[in-house]
Amino acid sequence: MRCAYVILIMALFWVTETVPLAVTSLLPVIMFPILGILDSREVCSCYMNDTIMVFVGGMILAIAIEHCNLHLRIALTVMRFVGCSHTKLLGGICVVTGFISMWVSNTAACAMMIPIIFAILEELEK
């Protein structure tokens, strides 16, 4: 029953966003050991699995790409080679995504492509 209360509180926080979503997602790490639902080691091991680490690594790579402005270089290079046609741009983005996916996981490639695509959209608006 105590677990249901924690889930209900988390659902309420997610819906109302009274607490930031990142804080809400970490609520079980604090509440489950305090209420005796699960040991802290068991709860934390759920947060540190391979899938989560792939997402975290992809996000770190995306932030690094954005930090050194590599996303602008890639976006401008794609636009220079394929032009500004929507169809050609889609093909260029697919080629870049496929190229990145050869070395990193697909989720990391998608995370890395987000700043690149936003840079292309910003250039198209100019």
Q: Whole-prediction pTM value? A: 0.66
**47-104 pLDDT, tens digit each:** 888 888 888 888 898 899 899 999 999 999 999 999 888 899 999 999 999 999 998 8
pLDDT per residue as tens digits for the range 98-116: 999 998 888 889 988 999 9
118-126 average pLDDT score: 90
| Residue-wise DSSP of 11-74 | HHHHHH-SS-HHHHHTHHHHHHHHHTSS-HHHHHHHHSSHHHHHHHHHHHHHHHHHHTTHHHHH
Ordered by start, the domain boundaries in the chain are: 1-48, 58-125
Residue range 18-48, pLDDT digits in tens: 999 989 999 999 999 999 998 988 988 888 8
